[in-house]
Amino acid sequence: MGATPAATGASKAACADATHAPHEAAYETIAEATDNATGNAAHERTREAALDTPEARKTRETPDPGVWPVPLSEGWQCVSTPAGACATPADLPRDGWLDAPVPGTVASASRAAGRLDIGAGLHERTPPAFAFDDHWYRLTLTGHGKERLRLHGLATLTEVWLDGTLLLTSDSMFERHDLDVTLDGRATLALCFRALTPLLEARRTRARWRPRLVSPATLRNVRTTLLGHMPGWCPSVQPVGPWRPVERLAATPRAFDTVRLAPRREGDDGVLALTLTFVQPQPASSQTSSAATLVCAGAETSLAWRDAHTLVGTLRVPGVEPWWPHTHGKPTLHAVTLDLDGTSIALGHVGFRAIEVDRSADGEGFALRVNGTPVFCRGACWTSADLATLAGTPAQLAHAFALARDAGMNMLRVGGTMVYESDAFYRLADEHGILIWQDFAFANFDYPRDDAFLASVQREATQFLERTQRFASLAVLCGGSEVDQQAAMFGLPPAMREQPLFTEHLPALVAALRPDVPYVPNSPTGGTWPFSTRTGITHYYGVGAYQRPLDDVRRAHVRFAAECLAFANVPDDATLHAAGGMQPYDARWKAAVPRDAGAGWDFDDVREHYLRTLYGIDPARLRYEDAARYLELSRAVVAELMTDVFAEWRRHGSPCGGALVWQFQDLQPGAGWGVIDSTGRPKSVWHALAAALRPVQIAITDEGLNGLDLHVVNETAQPLHARLALVCLRDGSVRVAAGELMLEVPARGTLRVEAAACLGQFFDFTHAYRFGPPSHDVTIATLTDAASGEVLAEAFHLPDRSPAPRYDPGLTVTPVQGPDGWQLVIETQRFARFVHVTDAHYRAACDWFHLAPGSRRVVDLLALTATPGAYSASPAPLCTKETAPAPAGEVRAINAPAPVFYG
Same domain membership, residue 654 and residue 550:
yes
Residue-level pLDDT at 598: 78
94 found inside a domain: yes
Same domain membership, residue 204 and residue 141:
yes
d(CA 159, CA 136): 9
Residue-level pLDDT at 119: 55
396 found inside a domain: no
Same domain membership, residue 197 and residue 119:
yes
Same domain membership, residue 726 and residue 682:
no
Residue-wise DSSP of 176-206: -EEEEEEEEEEEEEEEEEE-SHHHHH---SP
23 found inside a domain: yes
280 found inside a domain: no
596, exposed or middle or buried, with CB in 10 Å at 0-12, 13-18, 19+? middle
Burial 311-348 (b: 16+ CB within 10 A, else e): bbbebebeebbbbbbbbbbebbbbbbbbbbeeebbbbb
Contact assessment for residue 838 and residue 902, using Cβ atoms and an 8 Å cutoff: no
Same domain membership, residue 609 and residue 702:
no
Contact assessment for residue 224 and residue 173, using Cβ atoms and an 8 Å cutoff: yes
Residue-wise DSSP of 348-409: EEE----EEEE--TTS---EEEETTEEE-EEEEEE--S-TTTSS--HHHHHHHHHHHHHTT-
d(CA 80, CA 86): 10
110, exposed or middle or buried, with CB in 10 Å at 0-12, 13-18, 19+? buried
471 found inside a domain: no
- Identify the H or E element spanning 438: strand 435-439
Residue 879, domain CATH: 2.60.40
Count of C-beta atoms within a 10 Å radius of residue 855: 16
Residue 592, domain CATH: 3.20.20.80
Same domain membership, residue 712 and residue 684:
no
Residue 754, domain CATH: 2.60.40.10
The domain boundary, picked from 210, 232, 249, lies at 249
d(CA 263, CA 243): 29
CA nearest neighbour of 795 among 811, 784, 803: 784
- Identify the H or E element spanning 758: helix 755-759
Residue-level pLDDT at 638: 98
Backbone angles phi, psi at 253, to 5 degrees: -60, -35
The domain boundary, picked from 190, 223, 249, lies at 249
Backbone angles phi, psi at 353, to 5 degrees: -155, 160
Pairing of strands 849-851, 343-350: unpaired
Angle, alpha carbons 503-391-396 (nearest 5°)? 125
Grouping H, G, I as helix, E, B as strand and the rest as coil, residue 877 is strand
Number of domains in the chain: 4
Same domain membership, residue 701 and residue 680:
no
Grouping H, G, I as helix, E, B as strand and the rest as coil, residue 79 is strand
Count of C-beta atoms within a 10 Å radius of residue 778: 23
Same domain membership, residue 563 and residue 641:
yes
Could you list the residue range(s) of the whole structural domain that residue 607 is in?
A: 538-691
Q: Taking the model in full, what pTM does it have? A: 0.92
Residue-level pLDDT at 765: 93
655 found inside a domain: yes
Same domain membership, residue 861 and residue 737:
no
Q: 10-residue block means of pLDDT along the chain (903 residues)?
A: 37 31 34 37 36 38 72 97 97 96 96 76 64 97 94 98 97 97 95 94 85 89 94 90 96 93 98 97 84 96 96 98 98 97 94 98 96 98 94 93 98 97 98 98 94 96 98 98 92 90 97 98 92 95 96 97 97 90 88 88 96 97 96 98 98 97 95 95 98 98 96 97 97 96 97 93 91 92 97 97 93 93 96 96 96 96 66 47 83 97 95
502 found inside a domain: no
Residue 123, domain CATH: 2.60.120.260
Same domain membership, residue 92 and residue 206:
yes
**Strands laid side by side in the 708-714 sheet:** 696-702, 708-714, 749-754
The domain boundary, picked from 641, 671, 691, lies at 691
Contact assessment for residue 200 and residue 91, using Cβ atoms and an 8 Å cutoff: no
268 found inside a domain: no
d(CA 548, CA 483): 25
d(CA 840, CA 295): 52
Kindly give the residue spans of alpha helices, DSSP state H, lying in 127-277. Answer: 197-201
CA nearest neighbour of 34 among 340, 310, 394: 394
Same domain membership, residue 758 and residue 860:
no
Same domain membership, residue 713 and residue 676:
no
